[in-house]
Structure 1
Amino acid sequence: MRDDVAAIIQHDCTEHAQLPSLVAALPDEGALWELMSAYNWDDGFAVPLAVVSHPRCDRALALRLFWELDDTARTHYEDEETAVRELYASDAERDPDSFRTLLAYCTTLVDRLRQQSFPTGENRFDTGYFNLENPTLTERQRTIRAIRTKRAQKQFEDVFLRPVP
């Protein structure tokens, strides 16, 4: 693991306020990918918010966060007004600052994906949708993927479904 990523992962609880600036200092999308691959989501949403706010956070990592690493942003996408607030009601009451950070993470991730403002970088991520021309897929896999894509399009905009091959 890179030293700069390890410093964030192994942070001291007293240094929690410094985490966003440590994330901001990461040099590229590979470091951000490595960070989120090792991140303990029980540590809150300050680091994920810093990652999705980072100018080098690429579309592949953003999609991976949305589909694979945490379902909070998907919950927010489905019902931006109330779903996350209801899901985290006790957290919102007990620790309003942490809840605001969580909401900022969800909003930033969903809005930036929707606006297509994440750059294409070195990372790759297969959402499991589209990409029907992938030569590694069998005909059966293409058929299943096409059906899954059509179903998902009823619930999600294409920008959330298109992989970064």
Structure 2
Amino acid sequence: MDPVVERIVHHESDEHDELPERVAALVDETQLWELMSAYSWDDGFDVPLAVVRHPRCDRALALRLYWELDDAAQIHHSDEDHALCENYTVEATYQPRQFETLVAYCTALVDGLRAEAFPIGRNSYDTGFFGLDDPALTDRQRTLRTARTKRAQAEYEDGFIRPVTGAS
């Protein structure tokens, strides 16, 4: 593991406030990917918020955060006015600063994907939608993927479902 990433992942409890600055010091999207692969979501949303605000957070990582690593942003996308309050009632009531960070993370991620604001980087992520020209797909897989994509387009903007093949 990259030593800078490891220092963030395995931080001491008294270093928690320094973590966003450490994330900001990461130099590329592959370090951000590695960080989020090893991150414990029990540590809160300060690090994920710093990651989605990082200028090198690429679209593949943003999609992975949305679809795979945590469902808070999906909950937020479903009902941006009320869903997080309903699903995170304890945090909203008893931990308002942590809840504000959660909302900021979800908003930055959802708005960034919606606006297609995250750059294409070296990371790749297959959302399971589109990609119909992939020669590795069988005819059956292509048919299923076409149907899944069509259903997803009724609920999501393309920025949420279009896969990313990173630049090399």
For each residue in 1:43-102, what CA deviation from the matched residue of structure 2 results, as whole angstroms up to 9, or x when unmatched?
A: 100000000000000000000000010110011001000001110011111110000000
Map of 1:132 onto structure 2: 132
**Structure 1 residue aligned with 2:82:** 82
Structure 2 length-normalised TM: 0.97
Aligned length: 165
How much is the aligned-residue C-alpha RMSD, in angstroms?
0.5
- After TM superposition, give the deviation of residue 154 of structure 1 in Å: 1.1
Give a deviation string over 1:99-153, Cα, whole Å, max 9, x none.
Answer: 0000000000000111111000000000000000001111100000000011111
AA aligned to 2:52 is V
Aligned positions of 1:16-95 closer than 5 A: 16-95=16-95
Task: Tell me what 2:114 maps to.
Answer: 114
Q: Distance in 1 between matches of 2:15 and 2:106?
A: 24
The separation in 2 between residues aligned to 1:87 and 1:116, in whole angstroms, is 27
CA distance in 2, matches of 1:70, 1:147: 25
Question: Which letter maps to 1:38?
Answer: A
Q: What secondary structure does 1:154 align onto?
A: helix
TM-score normalised per structure 1? 0.99
Q: What is the aligned-residue identity percentage?
A: 61
* Unaligned ranges ≥5, structure 2: none
> What amino acid is the match of 2:19?
L
Deviation at 1:11, TM superposition (A): 0.4
Say whether residues 1:161 and 2:161 are aligned partners: yes
Which runs of 4 or more aligned residues in structure 1 lie more than 3 Å from their structure 2 counterparts after TM superposition? none
